[in-house]
Structure 1
Amino acid sequence: MEILSDPTPDMLAMPRFDDGAIDMQELLRRLAEQVVNAVMDAEADQLCGGGANSRNGYRERSLATCVGTLTLRIPKLRSGGFFPEDVLERYQRVDRALVAAVAETCATGASTRKVQRVAEKMGVSRLSKDQASAI
């Protein structure tokens, strides 16, 4: 995994709050993002291994999880498609665990504002009243 073998200074910097304490949620978000992107890179490299295909950049996609929103860099291939179905489902933008937590909050009879606050604490920056009600 190239991410772990050649870290940049930015990757080595611990995310900290203003008071100097380590921001564990941001640290976990960064780690999850790096690991998922490394797994997708390895899968794409394996598909290109025979030389019949080659890489053609990335397309970015966001995924809301309980540790925050991950920016996934999905590799593109020159011929044929690549989608990491074992990493995320097609058209999935929110992690199942996050949906379950928000749905459980709704099931207890919480208001849409409280549901929005719970979602914000879990890393979802924008959740409208309509989206909260739909869940």
Structure 2
Amino acid sequence: MPKVELNLEDDELKELLLGDRDKAMQSIRAKILDEILKSEATEQIKARAYVRSDERTNSRNGYRVRQLTTRVGSLELHVPKLRHGNFSTQLFKRYQRSEQAFDLALMEMVIQGVSTRKVAEITKKLCGTTFSKSTVSALCSNLDDQVLDFNRRPLTQKYAFVYADA
């Protein structure tokens, strides 16, 4: 992993120490992720920005603004673009729009019996971002294979109690 340096402005430090810590942490986390993305682009290109090198394999072509929903709120990231080919990062998958832990929390709510509409309301209150009920259902479709495996498992063990709910 490359070395990343982060510079904070005075107002950001004051906000972190004296003001709204959640907003400050959200801003700092976005800056850290942006710096990691820049350093990953440098590794892929094999040259820093604005530096000519014989080892250079590609060149930068601006960046793409992308929203990533996390546990601390929605972050605005600047994902680098490359002139030839696609930039790939280890932080998230190509079309991933929310943090893996956040997705798992949404799926866990549905498993525990919370309706998809209520999950959408909860995420609006907690994170300030909305997820439609169809988005929550699409996330939970990843669980279908696991549920089928559970339902089709052999019941070869002897069970002392059988509970049926109708």
> TM-score range with shorter-chain normalisation?
0.7 to 0.9
Assess if the C-alpha contact under 8 Å between 1:68 and 1:124 holds in 2.
Answer: yes
Matches within 5 A, 1:114-129: 114-123=118-127, 125-129=129-133
Matches within 5 A, 1:26-37: 26-37=23-34
* Equivalent residue for 1:92, pick from 89, 92, 96: 96
CA shift for structure 1 position 88: 0.6
Moved over 6 A (4+): none
Assess if the C-alpha contact under 8 Å between 1:119 and 1:127 holds in 2.
Answer: yes
Aligned identity (percent) is 35
2:87 matched to 1:82? yes
Higher RCO (C-alpha 8 Å, min separation 6): 1
In the alignment, structure 1 segments of 5+ residues that lack a partner are: none
CA shift for structure 1 position 74: 0.9
Query: Residue 56 of structure 1: SS of its match in structure 2?
Result: strand
What RMSD in Å do the two structures reach over aligned CA positions? 2.6
Encode CA deviations 1:50-71: one digit per residue, 9 max, x unaligned: 3453222101111111111111
Query: What is the distance in 2 between the residues matched to 1:10 and 1:57?
Result: 27
CA shift for structure 1 position 110: 1.9
Which residue of structure 2 aligns with residue 44 of structure 1? 41
Query: Residue 88 of structure 2: SS of its match in structure 1?
Result: coil
Which residue of structure 2 aligns with residue 103 of structure 1? 107
Query: Residue 66 of structure 2: SS of its match in structure 1?
Result: strand
Pick closer, same or farther for the CA change 1:61–1:88 going to 2, 3 Å.
Answer: same
Query: Residue 15 of structure 2: SS of its match in structure 1?
Result: coil
Q: Tell which deviates more after alignment, 58-67 or 42-51.
A: 42-51
